[in-house]
């Protein structure tokens, strides 16, 4: 199975390592030509959504990726990646792919509390170490979106059709069960 990792900016290497450990073939998406090959899934890593959004446009990758996601390409998006997928952002004028029908709040925990650790429950997975880094959370979801995890009544993980969106960074703690879950959803299709 071949998984493409968006490698323009941010925490993409950790995802690649985890996916390789699970036996997946990994390719990096750095330029438009990288999108010409076939791949079975996509990882949108954390980082800075404004920078990633801008680079996607400048490199002419945005429209192609948006179309692939709309057509059902399985996506695992973390943190800034979640912001890129969100249909609405409650505290920012920008919008990106808009394929995930949720409203996301950027830098939602404020500057001081921006980064923290929480051991939370994820539906279908169980207790999971969640590392939040200047994290967004999901303020509301539309019909059809499954909430996979909440932390102190804030939604931090969702699934909608082909898309999984997380506020936190599952790639930094060494627990590979979310990546494993993602790969399993692809196998089922
Ligand atoms: N604060 C970042 C943003 O708004 C997201 C942080 C992250 O990906 N860890 O894009």
Q: Which atom of ligand 1 is nearest to the CA of 132?
A: 9
Residue range 87-131, pLDDT digits in tens: 999 999 999 999 999 999 999 987 666 789 999 999 999 999 999
Q: In the structure, which protein residues have their CB atom closer than 6 angstroms to any atom of ligand 1?
A: 46-49, 79-80, 83, 106-107, 133-134
- Cross-strand partners of 100: 86
Work out which ligand 1 atom sits closest to the CA atom of 48.
Answer: 10
Q: What is the pTM of this model?
A: 0.97
Q: Write down the H helix ranges in 23-115.
A: 49-58, 62-70, 80-85
- The catalytic residues are 79, 169, 171
66-93 per-position pLDDT tens digit:
999 999 999 999 999 999 999 999 999 9
Measured CA to CA, the distance from residue 79 to residue 46 in angstroms comes to: 5
What is the Å distance from ligand 1's center to 169 Cα? 10
């Amino acid at each position: 199975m071949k998984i493409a990792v968006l490698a323009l900016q941010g925490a993409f290497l950790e995802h690649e390592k985890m996916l390789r450990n699970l036996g997946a073939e990994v390719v990096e998406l750095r330029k438009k030509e990288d999108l010409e090959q076939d791949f079975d899934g996509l990882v949108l890593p954390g980082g800075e959504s404004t920078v990633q959004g801008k680079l996607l446009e400048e490199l002419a990758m945005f429209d192609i990726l948006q179309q692939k996601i709309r057509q059902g390409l399985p996506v695992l998006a973390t943190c800034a990646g979640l912001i890129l997928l969100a249909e609405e952002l409650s505290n920012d004028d920008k919008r990106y792919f808009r394929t995930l029908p949720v409203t996301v709040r950027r830098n939602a925990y404020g500057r001081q509390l921006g980064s923290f650790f929480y051991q939370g429950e994820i539906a279908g997975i169980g207790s999971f170490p969640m590392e939040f880094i200047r994290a967004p959370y999901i303020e509301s979801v539309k019909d059809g979106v499954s909430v996979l995890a909440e932390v102190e009544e804030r939604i931090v993980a969702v699934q909608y059709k082909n898309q999984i969106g997380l506020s936190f960074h599952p790639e930094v703690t060494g627990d590979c069960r979310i990546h494993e879950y993602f790969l399993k959803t692809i196998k089922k299709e």
